[in-house]
Amino acid sequence: MRSLVIFINSCFNFSFNKLANLQFLDMSANDSLKDLGSSILELSNLKCLYTAGCTALVCPPYEVCGRGLSAVRQYYVDLHKGQGEVLPLVTIAVIGNTMAGKTSLITTLQNENRRRVLTERGPHSDEATRVFEMKTMKVDNVDLRLIDMGGQQIYHIAYQLTLRENCIPLLVVNMQQYDERSTQSGSREAVKRLGFDWLACLYLANPGIGPPTLVFTHKDKFDHETFSRLKISFVITANELRDEILSEVQRFDDGIPKIQHFLSCQNFFLPKNIYEIGKDDNYKVYDSLKSSIFETSQTFVSVLPTLWKDVNNQVLKLSTAFSTVDDIFNKMVIELGSDIAKDQIQIILAYMHDCGHILWYNDIDSLKSYVFHRIKEVTKLLEVLFDHRNSIWEKLQNTLQSACSLHAKRLNHVDFESFVSVFHSTGFINELLLENLIKTETAFSKDSDVAIAVTLFQQFYLLFGPLTLLSQKGFIVPYFSPGYLDNCLNLNHDFKLHLEIMFVGLPVPHYVYQQMSIVVLKMFPDDISSVNVKRNGVKVFSGGVWVLLVHDSLSRKLEINVSSAVEQVPHAWSLLVDTTRNISREVQKAWPACKMVHKSTCSHCLLKDDPHPNKSVSPSWCYDFGSTDTHSFFGKEFLTVLCGEDEIPSLFVHPCKSLSEIEIEKLKKVVETFRKEKVHQSMEEDAQEELVTNSVTLRPPTLEDELSDISDDDDYMAPANDPEKELVLLGQRVVPTKKKIIQQLYHNTDKVYRMTKNRGRALIINNKTFDRNPERLGSEVDIENLEDMLHDFKFNVTLWNDLTAENMLHVIYHELQDKRHEDCGVFWLCILSHGTDTNYIYGSDGVPVNLRDIYDLLSPPNFPGMAGKPKVVMIQACSGAKVDLGKKMVQDEKALTPGESTAAPGESTAAPGESTAAPGESTAAPGESTAAPGESTAAPGESIATQRKGRATLTKPLTERALAELNYDDLLIIKSSFDTYASRRHPTYGSLMVRCLVYTMYKHACHRDMEEIFKIVQQRIREFSIKKGIPSGQSAVITNTLTHRRKLYLFPRFDGLKPKQ
């Protein structure tokens, strides 16, 4: 027998001594197998051994098997030389958000006097764990290793350094933080931020890790009933999120390793693994937790040869930050005997690396000679790169300006201030500044050490260089690069390629997205004509081709855009394929359980500016990440395929290897044909607009103006009784701004507000379900229509559902603090709820909010990021109930039936003392972020709103300066009805005003300003009411405080004229 496969055989008990001719042995997925047996040494002809998934192996340890057949043989040889020792080789990873109580918990577990230890932090203290700290805990005379992981997302990278499959996750959750976050952002968002974001780092890198232990802290801050409610909420929400992740991942059968714990357990957190800790608890709960950890650690016991244990102990005693492999070998020969071989030491070092005891990158040429046996010193490097407290810079400045540093190179005050300023403002760190940071703050104090440290940074994809920028030689650190890139290449190139990578399932850590910028930069080590690195991506020009990478960690998406002239099409395809594969390969290498979905856009559709381009999901050329010949699938012929009704060359949708001169000319003609069609279509549209619009002066809309007529069919606004028309969702196309007289206004800031490429951010608050009021049927249709419309007009949209009155003010307030508004041209706020007849709007808890408070928040002192910029507000809510609306339409009012009076704003609908609910199932719109990378979306601990006399009102969001300067400049508001009148809403098709607004935007935003559009909406709503014979009708109310007589144009699909135009 030459080949043998023993697959998923839990009853395995076999001897190999009679299989002398065996060459191939596959024992994968035998998850109960504990001992291979030393008889495997008798298989002298064996060439291949596979043990993937045999995680229960004790002899040899699973990590040894992962190193291949030679490591397994060496293990048994060494085991026969000396008695093996059974040891629990396990790491307890204590993870969680900052201030969760991780350090206090570890210190208490370490305390053999059975005394509770607290880490007290004052309001101005700075004692948070940075990167991580390694500690030990003794249980039954066995030392268990614990790692106190830093509680800031910036330190997620440390997980890759230390944690392997032999890890027990211990998640610590501060219940005060959970209570605050769930109130402000919803329980789902709170569980994601405080739980899943941390666990994802473990499970994506090591999918075989078992169930986590969950510790709830700060129990003493709540009464028993409240704490129990919060605990149940957290656990149930975690299970719901786990089920959603499973559902999302299981749609893809791509052979990616699956996270075993997600598949095997009904509950994500097993009841026996949940602990509650408060300040006044006795030590019994800690005894129970220690016993549980020790019991779990016994599943990771391994039999280690005496020699391996001795080498491990000797290496970890070395005092330097790192040593060469040769130095370690010589040291071991002296300490343990001359019969040790170098290959033998290398196998033991590889095992120590796989267990997380050391770092040894023996597969990287520039690092394979070095063993980093003091991991803490490596983490100190990360702290130097990412920790930029003022005290660090002050200490460095004092050191560099003195002669006390043995290795640091002196910097004068001017140079130092200049280098630090450039780094903070651009993310570019001067080579000399980085060198001195490393020498003065870490154990890498020599010139040769610095070179190794920089190589480590490059290995982790944390910096790129060296290169010369701003007349300085240094490195780019994308994490600190300010500003944001647009996701479009607005160039004159004829040919554009686009690919999108979506990460599904558990989210990869935030810093991974910045690493991908380094991956792209490393593709062009010597041939970069232009480079632009920002926080959310990188743009490179090389060899006549532009490559743009844009990423958004919150939407879990990467976009790759490539643009070139026709002659460079094969090179453009080559760069797109290489970029896609390099990114995918690096992600898969570091995070093997990560699921990626690739979507390629048809270049023909991009050429035509098709708003709904054809996309290919998971094209074949995206895969085979490990293939050495990345271009073997490139097409070699100039074939013709169909895109809709157009015949196009295949290279519009599939890579091509090369083009002859004849094929290049042929492609040029094809491109020119489509370009002429686009120009001709543009001229026709311009001519049609010229017939009805001879100037940009505001003129009232008329019924004779076809462009301002919503539709000849009023069913677009409120269909009668014909569901077969399928007009629930409008699904219109954006008409680009092509009229030259409008285009020429784009840069004329005296007449119009300045626009940005990404027009701005939009916040939608939709209250559909209420505690004591009728459900707003049809509201979900409004939301889908509004979201689609705002996305199409290049707004980043955030959606919140069913917010209490206080939380409405919370959400608006914290959205306005987002620094990204500084790079936006417009802010759009949409609120849909029940209303009253006195300028109030209801929260989901039935408590009213004064619209004045909302407008106050939008004033320049409170919204500095949009000071002097336009803010558009849309209020869909009735302002009273004076008419009976019949059967087909309902009104947005608080009353349950027509004729029932609405409660006065001063009367509370909530029971006295009743607490407000969390924001329900509030979710950010897919693909859109709610905070800049690295920034928290959580509200500060102090509330900005409270209930007074049954109403939600601001507590103190306005400073004295804000109160003195309060104004409503640059607001454009449309409200669905006058005070004391109702607003119409269809239970199937949504609100009358929303449908009218969305449809008008699609048809007229290309050539009309927003005030004119609102007036068209206002007129159409009134005409419709008269036509349908609705008593008293409905009329929208418009308020305009736009300043300096400027108009607000959105210029859809137009970002300014080129210089030659």
Q: Which residues are catalytic?
A: 834, 878
* Amino acid (1-letter code) at residue 720: A
Measure CA 1014 to chain center. 35
The rounded distance, in Å, linking the Cα atoms of 104 and 120 is 9
For residues 638 and 566, the answer to whether their CB atoms sit within 8 Å is: no
How far apart, in whole angstroms, are the C-alpha atoms of residue 17 and residue 23? 13
Burial pattern 854-889, b for ≥16 Cβ within 10 A else e, equals: bbbbbbbbbbebbeebbbbbbbbbbbbbeeebeebb
Return all residues near 384 (Cβ < 8 A) that are at least 6 apart: 437, 438, 441, 442
Q: Which two tokens stand for residue 395?
A: 């200490």
Neighbours of 664 (CB within 10 A): 17
Do residues 801 and 923 lie in contact, with contact meaning Cβ atoms separated by under 8 Å? Answer: yes
Pairing of β 826-832 and β 840-842:
unpaired
Distance separating alpha carbons of residues 429 and 421, to the nearest angstrom: 9
Number of Cβ within a 10 Å radius of residue 115: 10
* Dihedral sign, Cα of residue 446, residue 447, residue 452, residue 454: positive
Residue 192's φ and ψ, nearest 5 degrees, are -60, -50
Distance between CA atoms of residues 321 and 443, nearest Å = 6
In this structure, are residues 407 and 439 in contact, taking their beta carbons and an 8 Å threshold?
yes
Task: Indicate the SS3 state at residue 1037.
Answer: strand
Closest CA to 900 of 881, 887, 877: 881
Which residue intervals of 591-709 are DSSP H helices?
A: 603-607, 661-692
Decide if 781 contacts 990 (C-beta within 8 A).
yes
Question: How far apart, in Å, do the first and last CA atoms of the chain sit?
Answer: 77
Tokens representing 897 are 């039936």
Residues linked to residue 596 through DSSP beta bridges, in sequence order: 503
- Give the DSSP H/E element, type plus range, for residue 170: strand 167-174
- Cα 512 versus chain centre, distance: 10
Residue type, 408: A
Residue type, 116: R
Return contacts of 629-637, CB within 8 angstroms, 24+ apart: 630/577, 630/578, 630/581, 631/574, 631/577, 631/655, 631/657, 634/570, 634/573
Q: Tokens for 728?
A: 């629930």
352 contacts: CB under 8 Å, gap ≥ 6: 311, 312, 315, 358, 360
State the Cα angle at 229 between 224 and 232, rounded to 5°: 120
Residue 213 to residue 275: CA distance in whole angstroms? 8
What is the rounded distance in angstroms from the CA atom of residue 144 to the CA atom of residue 415? Answer: 48
Q: Is 373 helix (H, G, I), strand (E, B) or coil?
A: coil
Q: Residue 830 carries which side chain, given as an amino acid letter?
A: C
Give the DSSP per-residue string, 791-804: HHTTEEEEEEES--
- The number of beta carbons lying within 10 Å of the beta carbon of residue 485 is 21
Alpha helix positions (H), 693-819: 740-743, 779-792, 805-816
Q: Which two tokens stand for residue 694?
A: 């001879």
